[in-house]
Amino acid sequence: MKVKIALCLLTALVLTGCSKLNKENYDKLKMGMSQDEVSSVIGAADNCSKTMGAVSCVWGNEEAKHVKIVFMGDKAVTFSYDGLE
């Protein structure tokens, strides 16, 4: 039983440390990338909304660590982030 608990805790710790949402990956993003290209670098967006032809996506939690990207015609046009290390 103790082995199973230790294994579960170790797995959770490893998965937490494997987040693609970090400054190193953010710096790999370039203007003009498609949403699929961005997702291949920082993972799937947590939330996207469409407004007048623009798609605004957020990775992470806007109250904490996050990246925001706006796409026009499936090309990244603006980037912002907060809390990345």
Residues 38-69 have pLDDT tens digits of 999 999 999 999 999 999 999 999 888 999 99
pLDDT reported for residue 4: 58
In a domain, residue 28? The reply is yes
CA distances from 18 to 11, 22, 25, 57 (A): 11, 10, 12, 21
In a domain, residue 3? The reply is no
Say if residues 81 and 74 touch (Cβ distance below 8 Å).
Answer: no
In a domain, residue 58? The reply is yes
In a domain, residue 6? The reply is no
Say if residues 76 and 31 touch (Cβ distance below 8 Å).
Answer: yes
Tell me how many domains the chain contains.
1
What's the CATH code of the domain at 38?
A: 3.30.1450.10
Say if residues 54 and 73 touch (Cβ distance below 8 Å).
Answer: no
Residue 46 vs residue 15, higher pLDDT? 46
CA distances from 6 to 9, 14, 15, 53 (A): 5, 12, 14, 49
In a domain, residue 10? The reply is no
Q: What is the span of the domain harbouring residue 57? A: 21-80
In a domain, residue 12? The reply is no
